[in-house]
Structure 1
Amino acid sequence: MSYREGHYYSPNQNSNQKSQEYVHHNIDFSEITKKDLTDLWRDTLENGMHGICFSLYEDGQKPGDIITAEQVNRRIQILKPYSGWVRSFSCIEGNEHIPRIAHENGMKTLVGAWLSSDLELNEREIEGLITLAKEGCVDIAAVGNEVMYRNDLSEEQLIHYINRVKEALPNIPVGYVDAYYEFSHRPNITEVCDVILTNCYPYWEGCPIEHSFHHMVSMFESAKNAGQGKRVIITETGWPSEGGSLKGAIASNENAMKYFIETQNWSTQNDIEIFYFSSFDESWKVGAEGDVGAFWGLWDKNEKLKF
């Protein structure tokens, strides 16, 4: 996900929204030294995450490159001690190894079929998702990721793909991934989803770090209200460790650690399902999202923990 025109954080957003009561123990980061912050980040990571988004590409690789099972396995071994679930974004070009190897290692999977304006590739993705599910490698199926944002397909086309997968996989929850507000803006899509899969990024709305946690919660509640009782999963949220700023949102090591600590504590205390974005830094994203695109990982591009 990246910046979207017309969606900037306003301080009034959080104060105007009636918030559900959650268990949350506020941390006064102003009283914490850099070393203590790093130690707390490490402790939080060691306590484990519900889920993590899988970063497939090493330095010099990009989407379209064919990735080997050996590379996927090496990264799964790194992530396995820290996360119960892994999320993948595609079912072709080596991405199909992710759910298979994750399941072999006792992890659960949220598996995505990447949909675009290329209808031929879409067929390969949908068939790949169905095949993986019938192998027993898919716990939740995601049909498309931010397709509406990119205007790659019409609502009718996307709904057709979702219904096709639901019909093929009647025993697996099927949903669609997009920004939190899309589920209230597009009720026809929301209605056909078994599960609401929402991306929540205070950074991309220019939200200062001191307000980011509460803004993320308000995003989650927006998707939850649109879902009207359906299961809601945060499929992406995170904070970049370097690469610049967007209005009041500043990419830095300290802010990335603070955001991770806050979101993971809230997830654990309230049993909220979150897939943190992301596992490893990916250099190819510089062009797509500006400099910050390459720095969303908990691990750097060389697979070393950042902090």
Structure 2
Amino acid sequence: MKTGQRSTSAKPTLTAVRSLPITKDAANRIAQTPVSQSLHRSSTPAPTPPPGGNSNAVDLSLPPLPLPSPTKNPLPLSVPPLVSPPKTPGSPNFPGNGLGICYAPYGDNGECKTPQQVESDFSKFGGFDTVRFYGTDCNQVPMVVAAANKYQKKLFAGIYDIEKLDEALHNLIQGVQSSWALIVTVAIGNERVNSGQSSVSEVVGSVSKARKVLRDAGYTGPVVTVDTFNALIAHPELCEASDFCAANIHAFFDPNTEASNAGGFVKKQQERVSRAAGGKMTVVTESGWPKHGNPNGKAVPSPENHNLALASLLSAFKGKERSLYLFSAFDDKWKKDNPSTFGAEKYWGIL
């Protein structure tokens, strides 16, 4: 994922029965019917009609028929039982324990967020300990550093555009100032090889150069490049140049994996990356599931599947949350789709 720079059943029908008028002659015939042919009648005499009424009016009132005695074992009504709709899986609880979240400080139209908006976003990261951001544009470094300080978060920093590496390193160093203790990792590039934007040698050279500059600035933590698991397996030298393997792994892009199996898929690919790199540790720097978009085989975007996938990921990484960054904090409405994103690029937001 390219993130950072803007680049039960039917009811029965009741039939109404209309009352037909009864003529005086018909009423007389009914009145002259012998008792033996009549319905059971009460011994109570019929009330005397009030005087002064219409001489042609006939009182057809009959006493109510007695209700039948209930049977000993009444038959049940043939009404199908109510079936509760299946419950929609809710958003899982995020446990902290080093769990990371990916974040891009842009508005719906790609505009830079204000410090107040960034701080508000960080206030929603209660279940996450580390926030990954991708670039140095929009003056985002000092904004996220200030918000991280306020809400006691760690930061996984990023330099997106390695063509402007010197400028980006300067912005990062100036933005962090003396707060290097907040920075757990610095990433140089995101999916540069997988996207064809850079060659392997260009990325490796950028990582080496950035590490030296950052060391001189006082940062002593890991420096890596992030790419897809396929690119890292095909080019283990990317892991070799990094202090650990940093892999974006999204089960949604595998057409044979359902949302409920996302965690197992991601763990398997994480292990493959480490094996290809001679046993080096691999951190999953992006993983999630879209809420909307077009199906990719068995991988179907929906809010329900989004929550199922997140629950599967959290289960697979239980006790190892530091090795997982969920993607992403919010829907990124500013992004644009391409044929490989299944119309889902904007809809990975978790919060």
Q: TM-score range by the shorter chain?
A: 0.7 to 0.9
Question: Is 1:223 the equivalent of 2:268?
Answer: no
Normalized per residue, which structure has more helix? Answer: 1
91 and 234 in structure 1: CA distance in 2 versus 1, 3 angstrom threshold: same
- Tell me which residue corresponds to 1:296: 348
Of the three residues 138, 143, 148, the one matched with 2:193 is: 148
> 2 CA distance for matches of 1:50 and 1:130?
25
Give the C-alpha shift of residue 114 in structure 1.
0.3
**Unaligned 5+ residue runs, structure 2?**
3-84
TM-score by length of 1: 0.77
Question: Is 1:109 the equivalent of 2:158?
Answer: no
Matching residue's letter, 2:252: Y
Give the C-alpha shift of residue 186 in structure 1.
1.3
Q: Which moved more, 1:96-105 or 1:136-145?
A: 96-105
Give the C-alpha shift of residue 158 in structure 1.
1.4
8 Å contact 2:224–2:246 — kept in the other structure? yes
**Unaligned 5+ residue runs, structure 1?**
3-31, 300-307
- Tell me which residue corresponds to 2:49: none
8 Å contact 1:130–1:168 — kept in the other structure? no
Cα RMSD (Å): 2.3
Give the C-alpha shift of residue 91 in structure 1.
1.4
Normalized per residue, which structure has more strand? Answer: 1
8 Å contact 1:49–1:82 — kept in the other structure? no
Identity fraction in percent: 20
Of the three residues 64, 82, 101, the one matched with 1:52 is: 101
8 Å contact 2:263–2:316 — kept in the other structure? no
Question: Is 1:158 the equivalent of 2:203?
Answer: yes
- Tell me which residue corresponds to 1:269: 319
Aligned to 1:250, the other structure's residue is in SS state coil
8 Å contact 1:53–1:87 — kept in the other structure? yes
271 and 240 in structure 1: CA distance in 2 versus 1, 3 angstrom threshold: closer
- Tell me which residue corresponds to 2:113: 67
Aligned to 2:121, the other structure's residue is in SS state helix
Of the three residues 257, 260, 263, the one matched with 1:213 is: 263
> 2 CA distance for matches of 1:282 and 1:110?
19
267 and 103 in structure 1: CA distance in 2 versus 1, 3 angstrom threshold: farther
Question: Is 1:34 the equivalent of 2:80?
Answer: no
- Tell me which residue corresponds to 1:202: 251
55 and 224 in structure 1: CA distance in 2 versus 1, 3 angstrom threshold: same
> 2 CA distance for matches of 1:186 and 1:89?
22
Tell me which structure has the larger Cα radius of gyration. Answer: 2
TM-score by length of 2: 0.68
8 Å contact 2:260–2:308 — kept in the other structure? no
> 2 CA distance for matches of 1:49 and 1:265?
15
> 1 CA distance for matches of 2:322 and 2:116?
32
Give the C-alpha shift of residue 151 in structure 1.
1.8
208 and 236 in structure 1: CA distance in 2 versus 1, 3 angstrom threshold: same
8 Å contact 1:88–1:99 — kept in the other structure? no
> 2 CA distance for matches of 1:212 and 1:263?
6
212 and 78 in structure 1: CA distance in 2 versus 1, 3 angstrom threshold: closer
Aligned to 1:194, the other structure's residue is in SS state coil
> 2 CA distance for matches of 1:133 and 1:231?
27
